């Protein structure tokens, strides 16, 4: 605080006026002593490349090109050529590459494609000459770059055309090999044949369904006739005079049936149930014969129908005698009612027919299922191969189009090299500046006057607002 107070005590109005005047005079004198510098400039326009990106992997954006050219303008090679051509390395200039690089400024004009080259130097004519020579050297450099780029671009396009031709040939070869291996025409023929077979199988199944309905109808009719026949109250003893041996034949058949039922394969539940009912019926009829009771036609038909319910496998393998016993019952039944033989023959024929129809239906169903499965497999295979074939054709079209474009582009390379890398145009050459770039002496004096006056005024204002007793301790 003591140093601030001493500084403020030292400052007064007269001292401030002296400082302001001294600063103004010194700035005015310095402006006359320091040599004046003149600014020269030139403008170069960078044109955007026109080559499409998909045909030229060396494509660069415009801003990248401008930045590259800006660095080239300050490169040591160009600056050295300018120094040697204009003898700037000799007195009085005594220029070096570092010194000239610091003097030259390269700017990009905002929102445009222009590059501006600026140089401030004490000699206006030399400044303009340096800028123009630098621009000329840059244009020469760009022309050499375009010539080299043209040659490399032609080599590049020739290589691309050859590569595209190889890919096109390879694509042709893959497509031919695929079509040879796939044999889509034969697969389509097999698919059509399979579809025709499916139609034939469906027609046959429809006809089989009709036949099945007919045979089931005949079986039901025969069963109804047998049921109606069994309702007749015809007894065995009422006809013994017509067939005296019928009772003895029935007894012998019952004994044979009873002895052979024990050897029937009754492992299945249905067979076991039928065998049980047969045993019960046989025992019941034998009791009636022993007790001299009448046996009705209905009882004999029911026994015969139970024998028919036994599976043929069980009757032929495990108990062959059952066939003989059944024939004995049928003879007795025919003696009681001759119509029974015809009805039973129709029933057996219908059952055999039904078995044949059912076997045919199963065979047709299996064949239809196999044909439909084959059709689905062929359809999926054809769809997969068709997608692959379409993909190969699309690749073929792409390679063919790329080859055509590259071929046309290669033929046009000699006409539009500038469109490959972007051309440059010198739109404004440097003129000899008539006015110095540095401010005039009056402007320098005015600036020094204003700045020193602001400082002095601030100090005076601070002194007037600073309290006199700020450093004295308070006493109560």
The terminus-to-terminus CA distance of the chain in angstroms comes to: 23
* Domain containing residue 95: 2-158+416-465
Q: Is residue 249 part of a domain?
A: no
Q: Is residue 436 part of a domain?
A: yes
pLDDT by residue, tens only, the chain of 476 residues: 556 555 555 556 666 677 767 777 676 666 555 567 788 889 888 776 554 444 444 445 556 667 777 888 888 888 888 888 888 888 877 888 888 888 888 888 777 778 888 998 888 888 899 999 999 988 888 777 776 666 666 666 667 677 777 777 787 888 788 777 777 888 888 888 888 888 888 888 888 888 888 888 887 887 777 677 656 544 444 443 334 456 677 777 777 777 777 766 666 777 778 778 878 888 887 787 777 776 666 677 777 777 777 665 555 454 455 666 666 666 666 665 566 667 767 777 777 788 788 888 888 888 888 888 888 888 888 888 888 888 888 777 777 777 777 667 666 554 444 444 456 777 778 787 767 766 666 676 677 777 777 777 776 666 676 655 544 444 43
| Residues counted in the chain | 476
Show the CA angle centred on residue 339, arms to residues 337 and 341, nearest 5°.
95
Q: Which contiguous run of DSSP H or E holds residue 339?
A: helix 339-412
219 burial level (CB within 10 Å; 0-12, 13-18, 19+):
middle
136 burial level (CB within 10 Å; 0-12, 13-18, 19+):
middle
Structure tokens at 291: 């007790």
Q: What phi, psi does 40 have (nearest 5°)?
A: -120, 145
How many angstroms separate the CA atoms of 454 and 137, rounded? Answer: 50
How many angstroms separate the CA atoms of 261 and 321, rounded? Answer: 9
Q: CA-based Rg of the chain, rounded to a whole angstrom? A: 61
What's the predicted TM-score (pTM) here?
A: 0.38
* Helices and strands in the chain: count of H runs, count of E runs: 15, 4
Given a contact cutoff of 8 angstroms between Cβ atoms, the answer to whether 328 and 255 are in contact is no
How many angstroms separate the CA atoms of 307 and 324, rounded? Answer: 11
Q: Is residue 176 part of a domain?
A: no
User: Which residues fall within 8 angstroms of residue 233, CB to CB, at 6 or more apart?
Assistant: 296
Q: Is residue 12 part of a domain?
A: yes
CATH code: domain of residue 449: 3.30.70.1130
Query: Which of 343, 346, 310 has its CA nearest to residue 326?
Result: 310
What's the confidence (pLDDT) of residue 59?
A: 47
How many angstroms separate the CA atoms of 344 and 328, rounded? Answer: 14
Q: Is residue 60 part of a domain?
A: yes
Given a contact cutoff of 8 angstroms between Cβ atoms, the answer to whether 307 and 329 are in contact is yes
Number of domains in the chain: 1
Q: Is residue 338 part of a domain?
A: no
Given a contact cutoff of 8 angstroms between Cβ atoms, the answer to whether 97 and 128 are in contact is no
What's the confidence (pLDDT) of residue 132?
A: 92
What's the confidence (pLDDT) of residue 120?
A: 87
Given a contact cutoff of 8 angstroms between Cβ atoms, the answer to whether 65 and 49 are in contact is yes
Q: Which contiguous run of DSSP H or E holds residue 105?
A: strand 104-108
Q: Is residue 39 part of a domain?
A: yes
Q: Residue 154 CB: number of other CB atoms within 10 A?
A: 14
Q: Is residue 263 part of a domain?
A: no
Q: Residue 326 CB: number of other CB atoms within 10 A?
A: 20
């Amino acid at each position: 605080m003591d140093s601030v107070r001493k500084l403020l005590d030292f400052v007064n109005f007269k001292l401030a006026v002296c400082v302001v005047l001294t600063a103004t005079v010194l700035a005015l004198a310095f402006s006359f002593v320091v040599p004046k510098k003149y600014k020269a400039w030139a403008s170069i326009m960078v044109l955007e490349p026109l080559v499409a990106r998909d045909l030229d992997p060396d494509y660069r954006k415009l801003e990248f090109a401008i930045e590259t050219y800006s660095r080239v303008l300050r490169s040591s090679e160009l600056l050295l050529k300018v120094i040697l051509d204009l003898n700037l390395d000799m007195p009085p200039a005594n220029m070096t590459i570092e010194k000239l690089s610091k003097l030259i400024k390269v700017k990009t004009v905002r929102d445009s494609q222009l590059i501006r080259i600026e140089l401030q130097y004490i000699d206006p004519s030399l400044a303009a000459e340096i800028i123009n020579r630098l621009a000329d050297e840059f244009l020469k450099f760009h022309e050499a770059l375009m010539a080299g780029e043209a040659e490399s671009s032609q080599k590049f396009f020739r290589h691309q055309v050859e590569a595209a031709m190889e890919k096109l040939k390879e694509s042709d070869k893959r497509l031919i090999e695929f079509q040879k291996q796939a044999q889509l025409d034969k697969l389509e023929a097999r698919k059509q044949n399979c579809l025709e077979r499916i139609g034939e199988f469906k027609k046959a199944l429809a006809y089989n369904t009709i036949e099945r309905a007919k045979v089931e109808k005949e079986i039901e009719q025969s069963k109804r006739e047998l049921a109606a026949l069994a309702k007749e109250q015809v007894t065995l003893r009422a006809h013994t005079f017509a067939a005296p041996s019928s009772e003895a034949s029935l007894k012998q058949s019952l004994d044979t049936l009873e002895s052979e039922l024990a050897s029937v394969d009754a492992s299945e539940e249905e067979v076991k149930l039928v065998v049980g009912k047969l045993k019960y019926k046989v025992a019941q009829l034998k009791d009636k014969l022993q007790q001299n009771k009448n046996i009705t036609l209905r009882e004999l038909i029911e026994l015969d129908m139970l024998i028919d319910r036994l599976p043929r496998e069980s009757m032929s393998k495990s108990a062959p005698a059952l066939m003989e016993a059944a024939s004995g019952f049928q003879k007795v039944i025919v003696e009681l009612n001759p119509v029974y033989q015809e009805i039973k023959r129709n029933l057996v024929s219908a059952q055999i027919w039904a078995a044949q129809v059912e076997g045919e239906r199963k065979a047709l169903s299996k064949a239809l299922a196999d044909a439909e499965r084959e059709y689905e497999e062929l359809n999926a295979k054809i769809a997969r191969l068709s997608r692959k074939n379409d993909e190969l054709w699309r690749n073929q079209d792409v390679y063919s189009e790329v080859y055509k474009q590259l071929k046309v582009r290669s033929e046009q390379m000699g006409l539009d090299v500038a469109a490959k890398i972007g051309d440059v145009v010198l739109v404004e050459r440097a003129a000899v500046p008539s006015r110095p770039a540095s401010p005039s002496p009056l402007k320098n004096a005015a600036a020094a006057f204003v700045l020193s006056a602001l400082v002095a005024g601030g100090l005076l204002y601070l002194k007037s607002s600073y309290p006199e007793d700020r450093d004295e301790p308070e006493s109560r």
